[in-house]
Amino acid sequence: MALGPIRLLTTACLIVAALLVIRPHRAGGTALPEAVTAGQRLAAQWCNECHAVERGDAASGKGPAFTRIANMPSTTELSLKVFLRSNHTNMPNFIIAPGDADDIVHYILSLKRD
């Protein structure tokens, strides 16, 4: 009979631990500002040589501006993640950690016009 409360407490602890591990998002599925800010910082560091990373930056001519990418009809969270994890002959072969890729994706999507 004592297993009931212990099992309930263990389940509650596992749920809380899982929620702490999962990347926080708002109810609408949008990233929290911390992920967007981290993605903006990473993009400025890694992508700025070839892309206009910030809204209003002048394009370098090498790669499309991030605002253009964000506003393409085909741009989704999934399409960006797949793109960032694929090799491309016309881009440097960066190895981006999954968490960093997620942050960059959230930043790019934050540039989408509503």
Contact 103, 71 (CB under 8 A): no
Q: Is the Cβ–Cβ distance between 67 and 55 less than 8 Å? A: yes
How does pLDDT run across 25-44, given as a tens digit for each residue?
Answer: 444 455 568 889 999 999 99
Those residues with Cβ within 8 angstroms of residue 70's Cβ, 6 or more apart along the chain or in another chain: 108, 109, 110, 111, 112, 113
pLDDT at 30: 54
Q: What is the pLDDT of residues 60-81, one digit of tens each?
A: 778 899 999 999 999 999 999 9
pTM over cut 0.85: no
Residue among 102, 97, 39 at smallest CA distance from 66? 39
One CATH from 1.10.10, 1.10.540, 1.10.760, 1.10.472 for 31-110: 1.10.760
Residue ranges covered by each domain of the chain: 31-110
